[in-house]
Structure 1
Amino acid sequence: MNTIPFITVEGPIGVGKTSLGKLLSEHFQYYLLKEIVEENPFLGKFYENIDEWSFQTEMFFLCNRYKQLNDINAHYLSKKIPVIADYHIMKNLIFAKRSLQEKELSKYVRIYDVLKEDLPTPNIIIYLHASLETIIKRIKKRDRDIEKNISSLYLEQLSSDYNDVMKDFQKRHPHIPVLTFSGDTLDFVQNKEDLKIIIAKIKDTLNIGAYTNESEK
């Protein structure tokens, strides 16, 4: 593939997106774009009362991700510098459709459609999924204060939403490879062999050797 690699890692809360993005960035020596999470001033309140704080929370995320993606397009991709991001802009709709009321969702979607028009499009998506048990275990392990009030039902619903959206995405965008990996069977943080499986699949899919300065770690 001749285009500059722009890889995004997606999946539900706690599945390991940021950890994998960091490991891949270190291996390929690509710029890592990390989403803003804990900086969202509404997130803690959102997990305590979704109905009350959903619109403010989702708008904060949308505006920040829009700014981040515009910046990496201007400062990295346009200068032929490969990028790995630990999110795809599509996640905004996944969360918004789960948490917003119909009237607010309608407003949100209109804003989303306008903002995403000129954003860069990834040429590969890595989709991580895992069982609810694994996700809860990992959320507890990272021990973020703002995530202590997340309900199991909300996490389960999000996982289901992600599965549906990724299936639909593959149908609508067959030219963008989606590489799917299970967090239940692969521990890419603790097991280097598991990480090598993912790295090999990425290299095979995008033929990105010309754009990498790979680490021997």
Structure 2
Amino acid sequence: MAEVPFIAIEGPIGIGKTSLAKKLSNHFNYHLLKEIVEENPFLGKFYDDIDEWSFQTEMFFLCNRFKQLEDIDKKYLRANKAVIADYHISKNMIFAKRTLQEDKLEKYEKIYQILTTDMPTPNMLIYLNASLDTILDRIRRRGRNIEQNIKASYLAQLRNDYEDYMNAFEQLHPDIPVIRINGDTTDFVQYQKDLDCIIEKVTNHLHLRVE
């Protein structure tokens, strides 16, 4: 039996992960897994003072994502039901390495390794990225109050961190296809043709998996 599709979408803050996940979920009739963001009680404080609130913020995200993936595995993947997620739990280490001081990072990484040892791994990744100007514009347009204090310098660092991470991911996991989408030239929210192009790429990879 072919492995049930489990697709994760990744990329920096504001790039459009959830919007694309919703559209692909509707098109393919896959269960949609959305990460918990605004429910994090530490996030607003984090954007005001990263050093002070980074550990609490990252631990909240890690524990919630662990619980979400545990539930998804039991209720959907093991029941051979396809899932599309607007995140990959390994993103936690991207943020942790950027925001946590060395002593706290060491503690965090130990907990991360314990929690994620048996987590289901996506068998396809969609990576969205764009220039800093595009990312800032999209954050402004979606208008989340909690994100208005994000520093442009932090987003620029995060964008570069994602590039490094994805390059390393492709080397470490050559068996997991990565579809790269340039957010500067692709707007799948406003233009159906851009969305259709992404759908075609995903469909082609799905067909390759079952051949």
TM-score (norm 2): 0.98
Q: Does 2:26 align with 1:29?
A: no
Paired residues of 1:203 and 1:209 also in contact (CA < 8 A): no
CA–CA separation in structure 1 for the residues paired with 2:36 and 2:109: 20
RMSD: 1.3
TM-score (norm 1): 0.95
Map 1:187-198 → 2, pairs under 5 A? 187-198=187-198
Counting matched residue pairs gives 210
CA–CA separation in structure 1 for the residues paired with 2:196 and 2:2: 23
Q: Match for residue 70 of structure 2? A: 70
Q: Look up the SS of the partner of 2:117 in the other structure.
A: helix
Q: Match for residue 176 of structure 2? A: 176
- Percentage of matched positions with identical amino acids: 62
For 1:110, give the aligned amino acid.
K
Q: Match for residue 41 of structure 2? A: 41
Q: Match for residue 9 of structure 2? A: 9
Q: Look up the SS of the partner of 1:181 in the other structure.
A: strand
CA gap 1:56/1:203 in 2 versus in 1, 3 angstroms? same
Q: Look up the SS of the partner of 1:126 in the other structure.
A: strand
CA positional deviation for 1:208: 8.0
CA–CA separation in structure 2 for the residues paired with 1:122 and 1:54: 27
CA positional deviation for 1:2: 1.7
CA positional deviation for 1:72: 0.3
Q: Match for residue 150 of structure 2? A: 150
Q: Look up the SS of the partner of 1:118 in the other structure.
A: coil
CA positional deviation for 1:207: 1.2
Paired residues of 1:5 and 1:208 also in contact (CA < 8 A): no
CA gap 1:155/1:45 in 2 versus in 1, 3 angstroms? same
CA–CA separation in structure 2 for the residues paired with 1:104 and 1:112: 12
CA positional deviation for 1:206: 1.8
